Amino acid sequence: MRSPADELAERSAAALHRQLRTLSAASGASLTLANGDVLQNFGSNDYLGLASHPALKKAAINAATRYGTGSRSSRLVTGSLDIYQRLESRLARLKRTDAALTFSTGYAAAVGTLTALLRKGDTVILDKLCHASLIDGARLSGAKIRVFPHNSLTKLRKILEQTPTTWHTRTIIVTESVFSMDGDFAPLREIVDLKDEFGAWLLVDEAHAFGLFGDHGSGRAEQLGLHHAIELQMGTFSKAAGSAGGYLAASGEIIELLVNSARSFIYSTAPPPAQAAASLTAIDLIDSAEGRARRETLSTHIAAIAPKTSDACHIIPYPIGDAERAVAVSAQLMERGFFVPAIRYPTVPRDSARLRISLTADHSSHDIEQLRNALESVGA
């Protein structure tokens, strides 16, 4: 039998061993370690600072008081609490789709959607940098998997040319609107043109864009005016929405099909009502003057620290390459009071280790300036 100790030793030797760090508190802008040390937090996905917003906390408390803590069953078994339907119709209105379905997590949304809509004989075409949840969903679906180099339209076209779609098969292109570890954008307009030309469907995971782009904050599809052009709009409330839970916004028929066939929806207990209530309040905030103001604060921070490229966003990668060096630089920053995570294989390709700086509306301009100085002092 293969020894777990050997496997762990291999990881340590490659500077790929990971350990849980215990926190006693966290906010968008800071972390408190178990020993009481407080670090400036530049590793959070709570991009708008909503996870500690009083309105979300209050919504969660009220829902727990009204419904209890657990949801008690899968939504198909004893019935579906009204709070989920309210969340889903509010989300569909924001996304300007017919319907929406929520899942316990974004991971469950990705796996449930892809396995429900694809089967053997179908084809799923993924961007090389797609999130693990999308890869796992594609693998579990039994469809043929094709991968195109990150954002390569030429290669995507080539794959589509080689993929005949018949009346009884499906081809789904899968990408993210903002890539989680690179902070760059997919060329969504061009991909929409391609999938229309070849009669494929498109799934866009807006995990890192939901709440952050477009006048209403619904994501890149809204910002680019593509909400009617994308069949499958996926995302999560666990990042900028400051709550938890995945979603798929799509046509009424697709949503009905998922209710009947997405195994991560059917065979899993509904998430706590408090989670749905916090997500619902988050949507109202995102689609309000306060949401717009928070997005503007974030833009100011981005402009103060990101390289001056046209598509800089709230995720700023600092390429380092070697995993050991990335871990060392991250440790030096921690000594100076800044938490900036080192991202290593298998989250990113081998030898493309990096620091991943994420900014939130909870940071102050002073925090950003201090981070800039700290990065300079460690030679990053």
> Cβ closer to ligand PLP: 183 or 374?
183
Binding mask 34-73 for ligand PLP (x = CB under 6 A): ----------------------------------------
Q: In the set 131, 294, 301, 314, which binds ligand PLP (CB under 6 A)?
A: 131
Interface residue with ligand PLP among 102, 123, 236, 352 (CB under 6 A) is: 236
Nearest to 305 by CA among 362, 369, 363, 364: 369
Give yes or no for residue 218 binding ligand PLP (CB under 6 A): no
Q: Which entry of 227, 239, 301, 314 is annotated as an active-site residue? A: 239
DSSP secondary structure letters along 140-161: HH-PEEEEE-TT-HHHHHHHHH
Which helix (H) or strand (E) segment holds residue 176: the answer is strand 171-176
Beta carbon nearer to ligand PLP, 131 or 227: 131
- Active-site residue 17, yes or no? no
Binding test (CB under 6 A) with ligand PLP, winner from 176, 222, 287, 362: 176
205 vs 362 by CB, closer to ligand PLP: 205
Among 137, 183, 246, 271, binds ligand PLP (CB under 6 A): 246
Interstrand relation of 171-176 and 123-127 (parallel, antiparallel or unpaired): parallel
| Contacts with 306 (C-beta within 8 Å, 6 or more apart), sequence order | 312, 313, 316
> DSSP strand E in 30-119: where?
30-33, 38-41, 99-103
CB of 253 to ligand PLP, least distance (A): 24
Catalytic residue list contains 208: yes
Q: Which is nearer to ligand PLP, 107 or 339 (CB)?
A: 107
Active site residue 180: yes
- Among 53, 75, 146, 208, indicate the residue that binds ligand PLP (CB under 6 A): 208
Catalytic annotation on 82?
no
Half-sphere exposure of 344 (CA within 13 A, CB side): 17
Question: Which range binds ligand PLP by CB under 6 A, 6-14, 55-63, 203-211, 372-380?
Answer: 203-211
d(CA 13, CA 21): 20
31 SS3 class: strand
Return the DSSP state at 50.
G
Active-site entry in 41, 44, 53, 131: 131
CB of 354 to ligand PLP, least distance (A): 16
Q: What distance in Å separates the CA atoms of residue 297 and residue 366, rounded to the nearest whole number?
A: 13
Catalytic residue among 141, 177, 180, 352: 180
Secondary structure (3-state) at 163: coil
Q: Mark 100-129 with x for binding to ligand PLP (rule: CB under 6 A) and - for no binding.
A: -----xxx--x-------------------
Find the angle CA(357)-CA(359)-CA(360) to the nearest 5 degrees.
Answer: 150
Q: Judged by CB under 6 A, does residue 175 bind ligand PLP?
A: no
Q: Please name the amino acid found at residue 36.
A: G
Residue 151 found at the interface with ligand PLP (CB under 6 A) = no
Report if residue 88 touches ligand PLP, rule: CB under 6 A. no
CB < 8 Å & 24+ apart, contacts of 162-169: 163/123, 163/125, 163/198, 163/200, 165/123, 165/198, 165/199, 165/200, 168/121, 169/121, 169/122, 169/123
Residue ranges binding ligand PLP (CB under 6 A): 105-107, 110, 131, 133, 176, 180, 205, 207-208, 236, 238, 246
Q: Could you give the residue numbers annotated as active site?
A: 45, 131, 176, 180, 205, 208, 239
